């Protein structure tokens, strides 16, 4: 119902996860739901584009939030430096700033995109043990 009331130039931003395309043992249900968000984003972008409504998704990686803090601390900073080329976990403010950009006129020609904010975690060599050192 909300989409029916949206005006031309509006923006929808969905939040998914890097696990929409990066499998992890024990999380098939989670990964499947996040992959569904990606296809919802892309299909909605096709359907709403003619009304000049943009639909995009943000896929965060390891972000320091209350939910993730225990896991981030348990692995320790050295592990994150090995796994993430930028050498650190992200901050919630970085995701918020990305969302603000996607909602702004500066992103008026972006639709159907999934932007991975993961510090490079999804890069294949990183996931298979290579480091940036």
Whether 121 is a known active-site residue: answer: no
Distance CA 109, CA 67 (A): 33
**Bridge partners, residue 116, by sequence:** 59
Cα separation values, 112 from 55, 122, 128, Å: 6, 20, 29
Element (H, E) at 48: helix 28-48
- Candidate list 30, 109, 116, 121, residue with the active-site label: 30
The sign one gets for the Cα dihedral 106, 110, 114, 120 is negative
List active site positions: 30
């Amino acid at each position: 119902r909300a989409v029916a009331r949206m005006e031309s130039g509006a923006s929808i931003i969905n939040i998914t996860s890097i696990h929409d395309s990066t499998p992890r043992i024990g999380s098939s249900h989670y990964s499947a739901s996040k992959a569904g968000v990606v296809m919802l984003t892309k299909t909605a972008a096709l359907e709403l584009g003619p009304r000049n409504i943009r639909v995009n998704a943000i896929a965060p990686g390891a972000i320091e939030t209350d939910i993730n803090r225990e896991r981030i601390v348990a692995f320790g900073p050295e592990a994150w430096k090995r796994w993430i080329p930028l050498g650190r976990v992200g901050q919630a403010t970085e995701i918020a700033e990305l969302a603000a950009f996607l909602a702004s006129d500066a992103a008026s020609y972006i639709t159907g995109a999934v932007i991975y904010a993961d510090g490079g975690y999804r890069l294949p060599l990183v996931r298979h043990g290579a480091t940036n050192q």
